[in-house]
A and B are shown apart, each in its own frame.
Chain A
């Protein structure tokens, strides 16, 4: 079956702009989580959605937001981009809460802010 698909794979944006990233989970998976990966901080949890509801949120400013649609596809949005937002953004889908089951990861979206 198809894996987790993230689009686009690469993005270059300028400071102050906003960006939207997309994640299509594995069919049947209702939980989608987002992570930010940087060389200095490693993988950090952004938020998790289940059945269109945000169940959990990490320690990121309000500029980072997300949503989930009825088909479980999810988007995350970053507004007023800063240089420090440059990172690999990973999406993971799972059948249930990711802490209780295997999470399947996408290839990520590499965001560069200039």
Chain B
């Protein structure tokens, strides 16, 4: 079975602060890793993905994530957040022919 853990479900921070969201996964085989984001009133959309190669991947809107295989982690970062980054962020793993979602991080950025 595959599972994903995200901590600190609610995060509140001010504009220009740095953001880091933790993600740990459990799966016995090779996985593909994703971060999806859901902005208020919008549908889920892909932020970034990692399949292989450079473990530091860059996504849209200045986000990046680092895959650390030894720690089974895929943490998401952004050096300086904006009010428009207010959203729910989901860490997702793809393995065993399906996607498994973490419970999500609700991030609120205060102007």
- A residues adjacent to B (C-beta < 8 A): 3-4, 33, 35, 42-45, 48, 55-56, 58, 90, 92, 97-100, 102-108
Contact among B44, B99, B102 with A45 in the assembled complex (CB-CB below 8 Å): B99
**B64-72, B73-81, B90-98 - interface stretch:** B90-98
Tell me the minimal C-beta distance from B5 to chain A in angstroms: 11
Report A-chain residues with C-beta under 8 Å of the C-beta of B51.
100
Tell me the minimal C-beta distance from A56 to chain B in angstroms: 5
Tell me the minimal C-beta distance from B7 to chain A in angstroms: 14
Contact among B31, B36, B44, B97 with A48 in the assembled complex (CB-CB below 8 Å): B97
Interface size (B, Cβ < 8 Å)?
21
Report B-chain residues with C-beta under 8 Å of the C-beta of A104.
45
Report A-chain residues with C-beta under 8 Å of the C-beta of B97.
48, 55-56, 97, 99
Tell me the minimal C-beta distance from B80 to chain A in angstroms: 26
28 A-B residue pairings within 8 Å (CB atoms)? A33-B98, A42-B102, A42-B104, A43-B101, A44-B101, A45-B98, A45-B99, A45-B100, A48-B97, A48-B98, A55-B97, A90-B44, A97-B94, A97-B97, A98-B94, A98-B99, A99-B31, A99-B32, A99-B98, A99-B99, A102-B49, A103-B46, A103-B99, A105-B43, A105-B44, A105-B45, A106-B43, A108-B43
